[in-house]
Structure 1
């Protein structure tokens, strides 16, 4: 009996060791590939983005590098060993090519590698961004009329649906890994069907399907049972601050003061791209946000220098979030203003505002070229004419080198002002934006510091100080720092004239180019930077990151994303007042806030910044009609895993041989087990008591 137990134990141990060895062998068969996935988003009518199939292994395909049109034809015309995963360079990532690959039954995945050679443009956004949410509720931009488009380089792939995964390998080492695998095993096209081929397995299955209405309904049903979410609304936070502190009131005295007038200055915080976690939006939104921040800083300094104490008109600087997706942030802001008691929130202890409190709006749109700027308006007005006059006056007086023009048109740029004009076509909204769209990488992974032509100068001077006229420090006249400085100066002085009742500024200061330099570094290179360190007293070991913060709006309902949090701090800093003589111990309750300061000696600041919700009203209203096209309805799918790995797919001969050997081993195993079982009485004789030796007596 003991012998039989020993045999069984050894058999189980062998099986265990065999399984461990098999697991290790399985792991050695694969090599992980790290990249960013295209993922699924949905709106009221469609689903967009990508998803692998629902199988446990995801989508699998033989790697094939596309170097020319002949490679595409090879994949589309009955290739020998389907399915294939096309390796595509940005040059070949065109709408025509990608849709052909998507619609082919021979293609199971697309791998986009990081190779910018000969790439003239790369934008997956539509030629008419947010085209169905214009002021007229009808498209004013026509993709079939190039002269009307605001993104002439767009391919519209961001609005397409792909039932195959697409992965972008931003790291060149990862790109070289898959290309080497292709060259080693797949480059010879002859007799591919009979050879082992390098393949890729991509798992990026998306839970959501259909449209936002269907997905949200499924989520509401199933989350009661097992807390499953199939999709979540895109949402984040807007950031705002005022030039002058507003009156603090108790909650019971929160009533609208119709006599309070606000000049609203806005820009966009967010950006987007086709791939998860990538896309800095340097030219498409960061440049305009930098202009807003710098103009706010300059205006605050001018108010102090010129001792302008008339606070009958306040200025609110606001950075909207989610504007890339049908103006989520500005839609929610207008929605709250119409409610009458929702903005600012009661926790701010200030009086609520409504649309009538806003005397005019200056919206800083895309500034592709800082030397050619136009002020757009829907209708001629005295406010608009006065602004144009101020801009032209200071442009000439300060020699800002901006070719400034004005235009009254129905085809306005895709900016937040569209939301306000959609509510009221007579709303005094004025848009400062590029004269001609020039961003060839709009809403893409390549809209980075190189696209903006940004070089960090890392000057040791105090960035909290203003520049003097003609003072460019070490910056070249054509540098982006000087260009943004000049645009910010123009915007701020236009507002200054209104606050100063038409009296012109005759000083010698312009906005700070050094502030622009530091701001762009923090958002394009690393959040571990001088500007962020000077406005926030870091706790513990965290001192920022060695990479820039992401500015995609995301779906976080309770967490403030890093980019939004820093925008809150920076905007609060540039519009704050230094409370001299107040110690750190006495500067602990908001709106007082202690910061290290630009010289890192510490100072107490009176701040005015705050957050507001950037969530579409479509997800707040009960029984909202998703087909009404009134509010943004964008949601993002959930997923369990995003992964990719390459392996060597065996040839049919190899597979047949492996199967045959396995089958023979199985038959032999049955035979051996049968023989052992039939002869068990001979092989495993039980030992009786008389065969056992008794222990010796002591």
Structure 2
């Protein structure tokens, strides 16, 4: 009888415990509204500083308040009573002045959400950003790692530099219109008017994006190394890094003559303040597209069987990590000095380069500007290239300008000029004294910034690519190209579709059967343990130019181990057009700063890039209703009363336990 009663009691207890747990979860779900938190501002560090954002370990909580102008912000800072606040800003309010005001008053405001309510074009028009610009970069990007000083008239005049400052509060960006609407309705219903806010329940937001790293790269890496001595080591940060990608017209030989290689270069990366949001349309993508179209064009007008008869060669190079003190290009120069570029067999050096042409922010306007260090840069190859290129584009109505400035804009060529002031290179840019891109290194630098839907951009890039290809043809053959081939604007459109609109595009689908994300590429370099998706896809695309299929190899495993002749590599392509193992001159080189491979390197030295990215575990945004101060006091008192009451009852039962439990035992024995 006693045993049955015990089982019955246990069953009832377990039933109620499980019921209470399920009920608890439902209450929690009703209390909090989870908001998609895919795009936090995160922490990056270099040898002397940290930039970006972080929350406290358990998140920052504040009363939601929409700020539409400076007057709202000042009123909140001076008269707000329900501190701390989380403020919601529109892009026109997302300025250095506003963020600095918040930084100086983090006891009153401890978090920011940037609301993107509409398409970028709608936001630009509504906030008048076409006039004021929206670029968080420095006015002179990479100012401390360039070979020339910044000009009096800065390259990026609209730069606010908020990308390069450390903020002690979290910042998130929100795109979803329904979420923004719910946040505003919650604010309007519970938080207005702003007087006597502590007397009622308030709409509240929690932002969680705690970053593990602190101080600078040197400190963060030292802490990581020290933690390896523990049973459970903790990583605090990772070096930034990825891969450079290259393709050559013919194989690079071990015995390359001096001044026989022309390098056509562009950067493969961009950046912004927010995770996974570096669209880089005009900052990066138009130059990549022009380079790729030129590479394809030269492979068609000068196929391998003809190119191998000439001593000169062309190498197309895409550098990664250039937004962070030229990580990729500085590594190439370092490897050249160590006789390790692009590999141990070829050993290409600076003396082998006879011409270096870099593409930078190619614009849809019919204007091209030459930037070069005139004091030293007067080689025959440079002069011939400028003459041919200029004559070709002039026929198409382009305005060709040679910059009179002694400064070179932010570009990979700086890494080479620091090693050799007489390096034979120049930059072909879509701007002269200042960037035309008003959204440089921002989330706004998307398809709208290059007028993606206009035919002007594809026609302009096609003509530039054709002229560039014809000029390179002359470098290799020492003769003029008289053919009728041109770069097709339709091919440019396909490239732009891949590099600006969505990676799930026709060209990439022809090369791989892997699932491709249906969104614009993210051009942020990320950490050295990860190869960016756009890096991999670009290498596949380059491998399709002038490559030959290896018919004897029928599967990917055999392709990966196939030994090609020197200067080539075997690559498996399997898409809806290419299918098989191909021999190609394309390959990767490391885009990791020499600072992280040189033993004992002083990370506070400015010689090489020392950028790292903080590790973090969880990002989260939650909105909920916080009770009034009076209600919190009542709940606190009631909770303490119930605790004391339960303690007294428990104590009373324990004191008289011999009466209750002894009688029960006696009754059981009697029965």
- Same fold, TM exceeding 0.5? yes
Q: Where does structure 1 lack aligned partners over 5 or more consecutive residues?
A: 248-254, 456-474, 694-698
Q: Take 1:689 and 1:25, find their aligned partners in 2: how far apart are those partners? A: 44
CA contact (8 A) 1:270 1:323 kept: yes
Give how far 1:498 is off. Answer: 1.6
Q: Take 2:425 and 2:16, find their aligned partners in 1: how far apart are those partners? A: 78
Give how far 1:483 is off. Answer: 1.3
Give how far 1:532 is off. Answer: 1.0
CA contact (8 A) 2:364 2:450 kept: no
Give how far 1:324 is off. Answer: 0.5
Cα distance change on mapping 1:624 and 1:664 into 2, 3 Å: same
Instruction: Give the one of 138, 144, 169 matched to 1:132.
Output: 144
Work out whether 1:38 is the aligned partner of 2:41.
yes
Q: Take 1:77 and 1:64, find their aligned partners in 2: how far apart are those partners? A: 14
Alignment of 1:216-255 (within 5 A): 216-225=221-230, 226-247=232-253
Alignment of 1:431-580 (within 5 A): 431-436=427-432, 437-455=435-453, 476=455, 478=456, 480-501=457-478, 503-536=479-512, 538=513, 542-557=514-529, 559-574=530-545, 576-578=546-548
CA contact (8 A) 1:370 1:484 kept: no
Q: Take 1:295 and 1:606, find their aligned partners in 2: how far apart are those partners? A: 20
Give how far 1:691 is off. Answer: 5.4
Work out whether 1:387 is the aligned partner of 2:385.
yes
Give how far 1:631 is off. Answer: 0.4
Tell me the residue number matched to 2:646.
Answer: 669
Q: Take 1:309 and 1:678, find their aligned partners in 2: how far apart are those partners? A: 100
Name whichever of 547-556 and 672-681 sits farther off.
Answer: 672-681
- Aligned-partner SS, 1:686: helix
Q: Take 1:357 and 1:100, find their aligned partners in 2: how far apart are those partners? A: 53
Give how far 1:76 is off. Answer: 1.5
Q: Take 2:538 and 2:307, find their aligned partners in 1: how far apart are those partners? A: 27
Give how far 1:37 is off. Answer: 0.5
CA contact (8 A) 1:365 1:415 kept: yes
Cα distance change on mapping 1:127 and 1:312 into 2, 3 Å: same
CA contact (8 A) 1:135 1:423 kept: no
CA contact (8 A) 1:369 1:438 kept: no
CA contact (8 A) 1:294 1:488 kept: yes
Q: Residue by residue, what CA displacement relative to the aligned partner does 1:577-631 show, whole Å, maximum 9, x if unpaired?
A: 456x957649944545565688x37577541100000000011112212333110
Q: Take 1:334 and 1:601, find their aligned partners in 2: how far apart are those partners? A: 34
Instruction: Give the one of 414, 417, 423 matched to 1:418.
Output: 414
Q: Where does structure 2 lack aligned partners over 5 or more consecutive residues?
A: 118-122
Q: Take 1:593 and 1:336, find their aligned partners in 2: how far apart are those partners? A: 24
Give how far 1:449 is off. Answer: 0.9
What is the TM-score of this pair, normalised by structure 2?
0.90
CA-atom RMSD in angstroms: 2.6
Work out whether 1:651 is the aligned partner of 2:628.
yes
CA contact (8 A) 1:577 1:605 kept: yes
Cα distance change on mapping 1:577 and 1:662 into 2, 3 Å: closer
Name whichever of 65-74 and 301-310 sits farther off.
Answer: 301-310
CA contact (8 A) 1:555 1:636 kept: yes
What is the TM-score of this pair, normalised by structure 1?
0.86
CA contact (8 A) 2:249 2:315 kept: yes
Cα distance change on mapping 1:355 and 1:114 into 2, 3 Å: same
Give how far 1:356 is off. Answer: 1.0
CA contact (8 A) 1:370 1:487 kept: no
CA contact (8 A) 2:114 2:173 kept: yes
Tell me the residue number matched to 1:686.
Answer: 664
- Aligned-partner SS, 2:411: coil
Tell me the residue number matched to 2:342.
Answer: 344
Q: Take 1:171 and 1:612, find their aligned partners in 2: how far apart are those partners? A: 39
Tell me the residue number matched to 1:301.
Answer: 300
Tell me the residue number matched to 1:28.
Answer: 30
Q: Residue by residue, what CA displacement relative to the aligned partner does 1:385-416 show, whole Å, maximum 9, x if unpaired?
A: 2222112211134x2x3211112532111000
Tell me the residue number matched to 2:603.
Answer: 626
CA contact (8 A) 1:327 1:416 kept: yes
CA contact (8 A) 1:377 1:408 kept: no
Tell me the residue number matched to 1:122.
Answer: 134
Alignment of 1:92-491 (within 5 A): 92-104=93-105, 105-115=107-117, 116=123, 117-120=126-129, 121-136=133-148, 140-141=149-150, 145=152, 147=153, 149-225=154-230, 226-247=232-253, 257-259=256-258, 261-304=260-303, 310-340=309-339, 342-346=340-344, 350-379=345-374, 380-381=377-378, 382-397=380-395, 399=396, 401-436=397-432, 437-455=435-453, 476=455, 478=456, 480-491=457-468
- Aligned-partner SS, 2:264: strand
Give how far 1:514 is off. Answer: 2.0
Give how far 1:369 is off. Answer: 4.5
Cα distance change on mapping 1:127 and 1:690 into 2, 3 Å: closer
Give how far 1:307 is off. Answer: 5.2
